[in-house]
Amino acid sequence: MPGRQMPKFTKTPPEVVAAFDAASPSRGDIERKTMFSYPALFVNGNMFAFTFGPKIAVRLSDAGRAKAAKAGALPFEVMPGHGMKEYVSVPTSAMKGAGLRKWVADSLAYAETLPAKISAPKTARKSAAAKARSPRR
């Protein structure tokens, strides 16, 4: 659409990353990856928590999101009108310490109920240039 620009995304502040890492469960089946340059946590291939700029978002069940709303959590949106269905932004007042650990633990508990995502094996593909150079039979 002409005239519509993507918003400028900001890095997650170091203190938010530190709080996020401190609240991350230390289990062998939890993976910490980066998604769009932001830290994210996965279990069984399912993302359940991540940072986005100054925010931390967690994935919750319908009941969990209803309870979270009562605690001040808002649905997570990348930009106005573009939300992620099962995710809420952790309220600022709970973005560190035991409060954040509880949000992340609730999110992990929900993510563990989801079917595991199995990533497809990566196949070796020839680049277009390599294909062009290879002799045809």
**Domains, the chain, ordered by start:** 14-133 (3.90.1150)
Closest CA to 84 of 37, 113, 50: 50
Contact 41, 50 (CB under 8 A): yes
Average pLDDT, the chain: 86
Least confident of 7-11, 22-26, 102-106: 7-11
Give the pLDDT of residue 35: 87
**Three-state SS at 86:** strand
For the whole model, what pTM was predicted? 0.79
Average pLDDT over residues 72-101: 91
Q: Is the pLDDT of residue 70 over 60?
A: yes
